[in-house]
Every structure is written in C-alpha cells, then in structure tokens.
Structure 1
Amino acid sequence: MSITTYGLAQIKKEIQHLPAPQLAELCLRLARYKKENKELLAYLLFEQHNEADFMENVKAEAGFMFSQLPSQSYFTAKGLRKILKMLTKYIKFSGSKTVEIELLLSFCQNYLQYVIKQTSYKPIRLILTRQIDKVKATISKLHEDIQFDYTADYNKMLDEADSKLPWLNKKSHLL
C-alpha cells in the first residue's frame, strides 16, 4: 500500500480550510522530519523580514568557509562545492533574484581572494565559470533599473577575475 501524492494546488485548497491551531501543528510536524524543513521554517519566521542581515550572515559564513579551504586541489574543489551547496540552499529559501546575485557575486569575489590562481585542476576552474554564467543569466532576467546596478558590480568582478586568472576568457562572459 502506498500513500497517494497530491499536487500543490490540491494541498493549498485543503490547507485553506484548516483552522490556525491545526495548521501550526502540521507545520511543526513537518519541521520535525527534515533539517532543511526546519531551516526553511526558521528563515520564514525569523530572517525573512530582514534580508540584508540574512545576506550578511550568509556572506560571513561563506567567507569563513573560504578561509578554511585546504591547499590540495581535489579537496579545494570539494570545499567549493560544499560552500555552493550552502549558498544554493539559502538562495532557494529567499526566492529572490537580488539575493541570488549578491550571494553568487560574493562567492566569486571570495574565490578570487582565496583559491589558488595558477591551478590546472579543471573542476576548480569550472566551478567559477559556472557561477559567473549563473550571475550573468540571473542579471539578464531582472528589471532594467536593477539590472544596471548589478551589471556594474558584475563587470568589476569580471575585470578583477581577468587580471588575476590567466585562464579566464573575459569576453565570453561579458553582459
């Protein structure tokens, strides 16, 4: 016997008919089973109203993780993926394109500061180029006014990357 999985529309309709105490009980029960559910609920309750502080805390945590990266290329790549996994989780929690751009630009700047510049280990290089491409794609989806603000930050980061990393092709990443 298996439990039927319902779609979000059906679940939303059913939730609208529940009284507040029963809804709170369901939320707590859901939070009990997965750490990520608990973290999302904590973000929605305590952090969502102050996104700037939330971003600064996440940037600080990522910066600390960057400072702890090992020097061996294989383990550096693993550490970078771990940082990206954390950033992706928080980006998903916020659901905001501006938060996504801010955190990914911060990732790229930390990468330029902490990661070995002359590495020939391709996975480390690909991690940065993928994040640059993500930032570029996300900026292009924003409103023109906001897009202008982030384009300047993006181009500044790209100039810095071009000067520090001989293997980066700046022209392929320009907006």
Structure 2
Amino acid sequence: MKAATVSEIKRELKTKTTEELSELCLRLSKFKKENKELLTYLLYEAADEESYIQSVKTEMDDQFEEINTTSYYFIKKSVRKILRTVKKYIRYSPHKTTEVELLIYFCSSLKEMSPSISRNVTLQNLYDRQLTMIRKKVSTLEADLQYDYGVLLDNMEGISG
C-alpha cells in the first residue's frame, strides 16, 4: 500500500465530519505509542508549554538518576537512550525555544554527571555535537533570545573546554 501525500490527506480530512475525525484520531492512537503521546501533547499539554518543558526535564532527571555508572559502556547506552527520548518529545512541540531549552538542560545534566564525561571521548563528542546543534537552532531565534541563549551556551562551552 502506497501512503498518500500530506496534501491529499489534508484534502480528504476536510470532507469528514467532526465525529468521523474524532473516530480517526482514536483509531490512530491505538496503533503506535508515539501517536498516543502526540495526541496527549496536543490535547493536554500544548496550551501550557512551560509545564510541558518542566515535565520533560523531570523525566530526564529520573532517567539520569537511573544510569548504571559502573562502566562507560552502560553510561553511553543510557545517555543515547535519554537523548532519543528527548528528541522525540521535541518533535511534538512546534516551538523552537522548547527544543533549545530541553537540549541545553540535557547538556547541563550530562556535564554534571558523575563520573565525568570528559574522561570518555564518545560522551564528550556527543556533548559537543549537541552544543553545536543548539547553536544552529539559537541562530534562527529572535535577537533577544539569541543573546540570552548565546550567553548560556558560552558559559557551557567554557565549562567543556
């Protein structure tokens, strides 16, 4: 089966009634966990972006606390899993500032982790790549936000060096 384009789907959705749209959303939510999470974000959390960011940060904190720190192998696996989860949550939000804030929080949590990531090249490279990505995202924001986040990033890069 070949999937329809977004414009074709949009055109078809316009022909549906409210009840039919509701039924389609419910069916969609049954198939994949991400669909259900996206619907949850859109219905309950999109109106209050600050609390959404805070809930993701709290989940991130919990995941960082659960990391098995006996070897860098386990640390790397766990950190990559946390980053995948954060990126998934970032995709739900249309706000660029949400992405920047969550990635900055991820990097600061990673930097504060014990044992230090500076002793492991892979983790240090992951940290540096995220800072580079954040810089690119910040450059697309409004000037006042660019300055605020730029100062924060300068401080973080100063710590990493």
Q: Which residue number in structure 2 is paired with residue 46 of structure 1?
A: 44
Q: Which residue number in structure 2 is paired with residue 23 of structure 1?
A: 21
1:87 and 2:104 aligned: no
Which segment is superposed worse, 101-110 or 146-155? Answer: 146-155
User: Given residue 128 of structure 2, which amino acid in structure 1 is its aligned partner?
Assistant: T
Give me the TM-score of the superposition, normalised by structure 2: 0.93
Q: Which residue number in structure 2 is paired with residue 122 of structure 1?
A: 121
Q: Which residue number in structure 1 is paired with residue 8 of structure 2?
A: 10
1:54–1:118: structure 2 CA closer, same or farther, 3 Å change rule?
closer
1:101–1:115: structure 2 CA closer, same or farther, 3 Å change rule?
farther
Q: Which residue number in structure 2 is paired with residue 142 of structure 1?
A: 141
User: Given residue 17 of structure 2, which amino acid in structure 1 is its aligned partner?
Assistant: P
Q: Name the count of aligned residue pairs.
A: 160
Shift of 1:115: 4.1
8 Å contact from structure 1 (residues 140, 147) kept in 2: yes
Q: Which residue number in structure 2 is paired with residue 61 of structure 1?
A: 59
Relative contact order, CA 8 A, sep 6+: which one is greater? Answer: 1
- Structure 2: how far apart are the matches of 1:96 and 1:69? 29
- Structure 2: how far apart are the matches of 1:140 and 1:104? 15
- Taking only the aligned residue pairs, the percentage that are identical comes to 34
Q: Which residue number in structure 1 is paired with residue 33 of structure 2?
A: 35
Q: CA RMSD in A?
A: 1.4
Any idea what the Cα deviations from partners look like across 1:137-165, whole Å, max 9, x if unmatched? 11111121221121122122222333xxx
Any idea what the Cα deviations from partners look like across 1:116-155, whole Å, max 9, x if unmatched? 2265433212211111111111111112122112112212
- Structure 2: how far apart are the matches of 1:80 and 1:93? 21
Q: Which residue number in structure 2 is paired with residue 153 of structure 1?
A: 152
Structure 1 unaligned spans of 5+: 163-175
Shift of 1:68: 2.0
Which segment is superposed worse, 118-127 or 68-77? Answer: 118-127
8 Å contact from structure 1 (residues 67, 114) kept in 2: no
Q: Secondary structure at the match of 1:69?
A: coil
- Structure 2: how far apart are the matches of 1:5 and 1:59? 35
Give me the TM-score of the superposition, normalised by structure 1: 0.86
Any idea what the Cα deviations from partners look like across 1:13-54, whole Å, max 9, x if unmatched? 110111000000001001100000000000100000001011
User: Given residue 63 of structure 1, which amino acid in structure 2 is its aligned partner?
Assistant: D
8 Å contact from structure 2 (residues 138, 146) kept in 1: yes
- Structure 1: how far apart are the matches of 2:150 and 2:117? 27
Q: Which residue number in structure 2 is paired with residue 110 of structure 1?
A: 109
1:140–1:118: structure 2 CA closer, same or farther, 3 Å change rule?
closer
